Each structure stands twice: as C-alpha cells, then as structure tokens.
Chains A and B, each alone.
Chain A
C-alpha cells in the first residue's frame, strides 16, 4: 500500500473529482430533461394542439427543473454541513462558497444560481397556471408567464455552466461547460421569441436577439477555453443537439398524439419548430470566428479585442442568415425587402460587437470560478 504524501494527495484529488462529477451531471441531466420537454411541447402545440397542464412534455419540463432544484439543494445542504463540521470545502464542487441568510447556509455559487433558477421556475409555474385559468390554454410562447419560466431555466443553466466551469481542471468540467453552453444556446432562440413584443417595423427583433445570444455564448466558449476550438466546439455541439431534435420533435409529437388518440392538424409545416429557430449557419460562422482568433494570436493582438470584431462580423452574418433560413424552410414565407435585411444585419452586427466583448469576459469570469492554486479552499 502506498502511504507516501504524494500518493495520499492523488487519491484525495481523484475522490474530489468524482464527488463533484455526480451532482454536476445530475443538474445537467435535469436541464436536458427540460430541453427535451420544451422542444416536444412546442412541436405538440404546432402539430397537434390541445393542451392541459398534465401533458407528458409538461411533465418533462417540470421534472427537469425539480431534478435541478433538488440536486442543487442537496449540494448546498452538504456544503453547509461540511462547513459546520469544520471540514474544508473544495471549490471545484460548484465554485466558491457564498453565505446565504447570514451564515445559515453555505452555498457553492454555481449550485446557488442553478437552485434559485429551479425554485423561481416552480413559482412561475404557479403564475402560468393562474394565467391559463384566466385566458385558457392558448399556446402562445411569448406570454409573460412563459417568458418568466424560460428566464428561470436560463438562470438555472447559467448556474449549471458555473458548476462545470469550477471543475475546469478536469476534462469533465471543461466538456460539461461547453455542454451547458450548448443547452443555453439551444434554449436561447425560444427566449428571443419574447422579442416579438418589440415593434419590428424596421428590423427583425427576434433575429437580432437570436444572433446576439448565439454570438455571446459561442464567444463564452472561446473565452473559457482560451485556446482554439472553444467557439467551434460549442457550435458543433449545438449542431448535434439540433440534428437530434430535428428528428425527435416531430416524432415525439406524433407518437404522443397516437398515444392519446388525437389526430395531427390538417395543415402542418412539417418543419421541426424549435430546432429550426437555431441558426443553421452557426458552425461555419463560429469557424470563421476561430480563424479570427488564430490570426489575432499570430499577430499578437489581444484576444479580447479580436473577440469584439469577430463577434460583430458573426452577429451580422447570423442576423442576415436567420430571415433567409426561414424562407428556405417554410413554404409560403417571403424574403423581406433588402433594406429590411440590411437594417437587421447591421443591428445584429452592432449587438454582435457587444456579444463578442461580453462573451469573452464572461468566459474569463467562468475560468476564475476554478481555484487558482491546488489545495485552495472554497470560502470567499
């Protein structure tokens, strides 16, 4: 048996790696459940229609948040117990510890955020239920309670990203961060549908919102990884999820309709609703951003500044691509006039500059969640 000091430390680090892995993956699994529920629910409303609170897609949505909430709560309680017992808390498990209600609870930052998102999701679920009691089950995605629900999931997902980022030293931490960004990016366009409330007489607000969100999150991937592949890697993972949902969403809606003996609507587009909101041009645009980072690196330019320019170009390209994507996918959809496409692309480019700037910085902030030195404890 190896009882040398180095041997003991290796065992301890390996154990910590495993300790963090389980709750992090449970939280990510909960997020994925919600994502599956959402794409299924949206497709159901488009292809079949009738709704009650107790549909299977709703069950997925709510179960997903419940899993995220319970796992986050468990980690917060275990962390609180560890601190009370005087045991050191590893910052690789969810990040630095934050005091909640004075020093009553000790919560790793990532799990605190994911847990708060899950809790507000359930509160907005009640608000949504009341709303449906008043207005009936008209499935509009951009009703205030729905946007509240989607924002809560977003908060949860940001917490999940932070949880994995805190374990940046481990491969699962790095992969999980990109996976969490992927889930966020797949959610993003649905959230951007809330911008349908913004007047769109001069530019397409939803396309601008979608492209800004895509640029921001792909840049977070680049800023977190800080070596080639962060942006393209995130975009490639998004493409995989988009591909799976492209098949899954219509299939699941049809299968569930058969199960409850309801017919499909007579006039359905046949286009998967949620997957078709995600920019199909994301991977090539992210690859172009990677070229920008590479060129900047060779010339010794500051990556944060390269990111602003790359974000602007990427934003303009994505903003231009989204209205064209809709025309290509939906028969009967018309291409807006050139001036409208231009204003949409220019505004997407401007917001893309902001996305490129903030995304790189957020990536850096995620890196700082991981301990700077080995053996560091988690109390802030």
Chain B
C-alpha cells in the first residue's frame, strides 16, 4: 500500500514538474502591422500570425502613438456580412501589459473583416477603421466532417436510448412502478 502511494505521489510530482515549464507562457511576437488613423490618434495594429486564417488563434496588439497611459478606447469587430460584434473596451494585453491587445483570439470565419476603433485621450475623441482585413479559409478538415466525428457519442447515446426504450416498453406500459424508500 505504501509503495503504491509513493508511486502515485511520484507520478503527481512528475506531472507538476513537467507542467511548470509549460506554464512559462509564450511572449507576444508581432510579425505584421497595419496602421489606422482614429481621429487625432495614429494607431498601430499588430498581428502575431500573418496572413490570418479562419479559426486560427493569434495575439492582436493595438498601440496608439504615445502609448496607452492617458487614453481609453473601444473596439468593434464587423464581420464580412456587416454584422457587428459587441463593442468591447480596449484593455491591456494579458502578456504584454504596456499595450492594448487581444490574446489567443481567432476570427471565426473567412472574408474581409473590419475593426472599428474609438480612442479617447488628451486630444479629444476619434474614430477609425481598419477595413478589408483579409481572413483566409480555415485550415484542417471541413467542419462537416469534424462535427460528424465529434457527435459520434451522441449517435451512440441515441442508439442506446432507442434500444432501452424498446426493451422496457412492455414492462413500463400500463402499470405504474412502485416507489421505493
């Protein structure tokens, strides 16, 4: 028994030991930038992956000229069909705290997206758009196939329920089962 417990403790220790390096999160590495003018404020939009592909996650950074300290702002993403996501405040990137950003965020579908910015600061309020941001088709298998693979347990469950339903039909019909306890 003691040996088993020791072995279990060793396995748990190893897990935590190997988990520790994994917890050292990747730095934000910007490989492409675009420039947007939001009223009086110039802003650099950075991407950790380029070109963008649908559903593939990346880090976005938003850096207004002169830094974020005396400014606030919002971001609205507009999809290729013109639908708007909920407007969100521009907040510090969790792993690059000196700039605004979105961490490990993907664009859900391909097409030309628009980022609409408002920026408030010492020079007043300004708005600007990053238009026609190209998002390419998703990599990997078609979504239909992926969903078919992932819903197999549901199909198994339906089969189980149908079989159980048929087998218990005669025993459940008519007579009420007794309550126990």
A-side interface residues toward B, CB under 8 Å? 48-56, 59, 113, 116-117, 120, 124, 127, 131, 134-140, 144-145, 147-148, 151-152, 154-155, 158, 168-169, 171, 174, 197, 225-227, 260, 262-263, 265-267, 303, 332, 361-362, 364-365, 367-368, 370
Interface bits B1-26 vs A (CB < 8 Å: 1, else 0): 00000000000000100110011010
In this complex, the interface size class of chain B, counting residues with CB under 8 Å from chain A, is 35 or more
Residue in B18, B140, B160 whose beta carbon sits within 8 Å of that of A134 in the complex = B140
Residue of A nearest to B57 (CB): A138
B153 and A154 within 8 A (CB): yes
Q: Which residues from chain A contact B105 at a C-beta distance below 8 Å?
A: 138
For A121, the closest partner residue in chain B by CB is B153
Q: Is the CB of A48 within 8 A of B94?
A: yes
Instruction: Please report whether the interface of chain A is mostly helix, strand, loop or mixed according to DSSP.
Output: helix
Q: Find out whether the CB atom of B15 lies under 8 angstroms from the CB atom of A59.
A: yes
Closest residue of chain B to A147 (Cβ to Cβ) is B150
Flag whether B88 is at the interface (Cβ < 8 A): yes
Minimum C-beta distance from B11 to chain A (A): 11
A367 pairs with B22, CB closer than 8 A: no
Tell me, yes or no, whether B180 is within 8 Å of chain A by CB. yes
Within B138-155, the residues touching A (CB, 8 Å) are 138-140, 143, 146-147, 149-154
Give the A-B pair count, Cβ closer than 8 A.
Answer: 131
Q: Does B31 make an interface contact (CB < 8 A)?
A: no
CA distance A117 to B140 in the complex (A): 26
CB nearest neighbor in A for B88: A267
User: Could you pull out 26 A-B pairs where Cβ atoms are within 8 angstroms?
Assistant: A49-B103, A52-B23, A59-B15, A116-B156, A135-B55, A135-B140, A137-B57, A137-B104, A138-B55, A138-B56, A138-B104, A140-B106, A151-B153, A152-B153, A197-B147, A226-B177, A226-B178, A263-B97, A265-B91, A265-B94, A361-B165, A364-B177, A365-B164, A365-B172, A368-B168, A368-B171
Q: Which residues of B contact A (CB under 8 A)?
A: 15, 18-19, 22-23, 25, 55-58, 86, 88-89, 91-92, 94-95, 97, 103-106, 138-140, 143, 146-147, 149-154, 156-157, 160-161, 164-165, 168, 171-172, 176-181
